[in-house]
């Protein structure tokens, strides 16, 4: 594979502890076989998430020292406002403490009546949960290509336009609160959405009078994929691609802990300040803090203002996407199945295919995550049926369309040598794949169970 130019040099390092296999077996058992319950100090390479785990730049750290900690109307807020308006072209920008906070204040306003539907190319876990908590019913509507992990297609995160039209016709536009476009499409492998698909989705929504919301956590990676893969955009900057893409939506929510490369923060944006904004402001003030800080310190706002710009740098994005592609190429050497092509932030190993003897209700994606920790101290997570909460109407276990183990790579954090360790560890597991056991849940909460559930191996 072609070398990956890394557009930075390392200025500071953090030591990480290397444990023994016996220690790891004890630690994961004490955590009730849930990686979220492990202590971070007992993890060697942490691929659980790319959310808030990246390395900030010297410019971001310098901005933090200059952060304005005024309660209202601080300078750092207006710096963030200027940068966000310039990038996205939206009138109203609201900072919040992270992406799920934006969902928490938006969906109770957007879903006006209990029982309304919200349709997405695919909801991620917190978005799905907040739709349900607000009284709505989430519907996934990804294109068929996204459900075939072995198929190599450029935009497997796209909305299934025919299915979208069918859902609207069958349920009635008056019973649909809105349409959510997740970029990149995390649950199907960090797969991008094309500009053409976004434009067509917006046209369908406009015809039926429905608002379009972008879940924008990985907006910059999506813009880079459009530049690399979609006809007519090779010479267009990622910033201009972003501006056009967002012009087709009405609202966006964002975890800034991903493509804005901050450890904490989120945004909610409305293209034209209108009827929903006063109600959202009220929820922000009561739940997050005053509107000009939204649950963030001034230093966090300052780091976010810088990170939004750095996250769109094309040298950085080329390295970012290239690092994930490198890990995928190493997995190819072992014949390990994953969602092809590799996404922008993670490699999604197809645990259902790697561990075909484990049925979906024993969570092969989670089983592989546990095994990877035992093998090499690498923490990852399930993106499959374990991630899915029970059906709120029937209480039945829901089956995910694919059983993935996500290897989410933090930004500017791990070296190529770390990626080699990950690939080799998975190769060792593959050699004894038939010995890996499934898992059963012995305790779970009602919502977002994968964060705190307790499990045990199935004998």
Q: Would you name the residues annotated as active-site residues?
A: 71, 124-125, 215, 217, 258, 450
Alpha-carbon distance of 236 to 233, in angstroms, equals 5
28 Cβ contact list (under 8 Å, min separation 6): 35, 38, 370, 373, 374
Cβ neighbourhood burial of 113 (10 Å; 0-12, 13-18, 19+): exposed
Helix (H), strand (E), coil (C) string for the chain: CCCCCCCCCCCCCCCCCCCCHHHHHHHHHHCCCCHHHCCHHHCCEECCCCCCCCCCCHHHHHHHHCCCCCCCCCHHHHHHHHHHHHHHCCCEEEEECCHHHHHHHHHHHHCCCCCCEEEECCCCHHHHHHHHHCCCEEEECECHHHHCCCCCCCCCCCECHHHHHHHHHHHCHHHEEEEEEECCEHHHCCECCCHHHHHHHHHHHHHHCCCEEEECCCHHHHHHHHHHHCCCCCCCCHHHHHHHHHHCCCEEEEECCCCCCCCCCEEEEECCCCCCHHHHHHHHHHHCCCCCCCCCCHHHHHHHHHHHHHCCCHHHHHHHHHHHHHHHHHHHHHCCCECCCCCCCEEEEEHHHHCCCCCHHHCHHHHHHHHHHHHHCEECEEECCCCCCCCCCCCCCCCCCCCEEEEECCCCCCCHHHHHHHHHHHHHHHHCHHHCCCEEEEECCCCCHHHCCEEEECC
As a whole number of Å, the end-to-end CA separation of the chain is 42
Q: Cα-flanking dihedrals φ and ψ of residue 150, to 5°?
A: -85, -10
Nearest to 125 by CA among 228, 49, 226: 49
Distance CA 243, CA 86 (A): 8
């Amino acid at each position: 594979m072609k070398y990956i130019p890394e557009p930075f040099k390392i200025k500071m390092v953090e030591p990480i502890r290397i444990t023994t296999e016996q220690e790891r077996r004890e630690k994961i058992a004490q955590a009730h076989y849930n990686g979220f319950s492990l202590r971070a100090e007992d993890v060697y390479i942490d691929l659980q998430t790319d959310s808030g785990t990246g390395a900030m730049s010297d410019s971001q750290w310098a901005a933090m020292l200059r952060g304005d900690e005024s309660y209202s109307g601080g300078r750092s807020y207006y710096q963030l406002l200027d940068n966000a308006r310039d990038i996205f072209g939206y009138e109203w920008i609201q900072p919040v403490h992270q992406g799920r906070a934006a969902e928490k204040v938006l969906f109770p306003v957007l879903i006006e009546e209990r029982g309304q539907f919200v349709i997405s190319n695919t909801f991620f876990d917190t978005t799905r949960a907040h739709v349900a908590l607000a009284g709505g019913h989430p519907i996934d509507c990804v294109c068929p290509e996204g459900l075939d992990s072995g198929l190599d297609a450029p935009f497997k995160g796209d909305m299934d336009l025919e299915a979208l039209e069918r859902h609207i016709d069958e349920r009635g536009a008056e019973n649909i609160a809105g349409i959510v476009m997740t970029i990149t499409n995390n649950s199907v492998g960090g797969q991008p959405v094309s500009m053409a698909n976004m434009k067509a989705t917006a046209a369908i929504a406009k015809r039926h009078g429905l608002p379009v919301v972008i879940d924008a956590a990985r907006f910059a990676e999506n813009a880079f994929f459009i530049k690399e893969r979609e006809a007519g955009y090779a010479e267009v900057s990622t910033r201009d691609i972003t501006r056009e893409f967002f012009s087709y939506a009405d609202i966006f929510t964002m975890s800034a802990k991903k493509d804005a490369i901050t450890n904490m923060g989120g945004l909610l944006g409305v293209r034209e300040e209108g009827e929903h904004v006063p109600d959202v402001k009220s929820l922000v003030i009561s739940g997050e803090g005053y509107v000009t800080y939204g649950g963030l310190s001034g230093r966090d706002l300052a780091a976010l203002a810088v990170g939004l710009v750095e996250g769109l740098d094309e040298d950085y994005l080329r390295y970012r996407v290239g690092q994930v592609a490198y890990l995928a190429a190493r997995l190819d050497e072992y014949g390990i199945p994953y969602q092809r092509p590799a996404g922008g932030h993670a490699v999604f190993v197809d645990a259902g295919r790697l561990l075909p003897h484990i049925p979906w209700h024993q969570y092969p994606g989670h089983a592989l995550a546990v095994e990877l920790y035992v093998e090499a101290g690498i923490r990852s997570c399930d993106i499959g049926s374990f991630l899915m909460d029970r059906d709120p109407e029937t209480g039945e276990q829901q089956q995910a369309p694919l059983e993935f183990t996500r290897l989410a790579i933090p930004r500017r954090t791990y070296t190529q040598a770390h990626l080699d360790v990950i690939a080799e560890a998975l190769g060792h597991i593959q050699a004894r794949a038939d010995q890996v056991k499934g898992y059963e849940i012995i305790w779970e909460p009602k919502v977002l169970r994968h964060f705190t559930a307790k499990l045990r191996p199935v004998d």
